Amino acid sequence: MLEQSNQEVNPHFFNVVTMFASSAWCQLGKIQNPANGKIEKDLKGAQITIDMLLMLRDKTKNNLTKKEEEMLTSMISNLQINYADEISKVNSKMGDGVENTIEKPN
């Protein structure tokens, strides 16, 4: 019985984690916003949402089943990789024309 319960994922925990993850995917501009059907980016919001998942991971440490821990860790890792990719795109765009638009003092 203990072995079986250690492998299960609480549906409420699953729903909370996927709710945050879905929000982060929308904020990263990877999926459509379900409210308006548009692709929108909010990288600051995505970082906050990822931070909330990290906090959830830290606060639930040693209280999750193996499957729950794996699911949460995997979602966080995927979101962090995609967040880093989006930030690098923004930074490269800023670096492409910033020198030309900034006036140098005389």
What are the tens digits of pLDDT across the range 32-91?
998 999 999 999 999 999 999 999 999 999 999 999 999 999 999 999 999 999 999 998
What gap in Å lies between CA 15 and CA 24, rounded to an integer?
Answer: 14
pTM: 0.80
Domain definitions of the chain by residue range: 2-101
The band of 2, judged by pLDDT with boundaries at 50, 70 and 90, is: very low
Collect all residues with Cβ–Cβ distance below 8 Å to 31 and sequence separation of at least 6.
Answer: 22, 25, 39
DSSP-derived secondary structure for 29-65: TSS--TTTS-----HHHHHHHHHHHHHHHHHTTTSS-
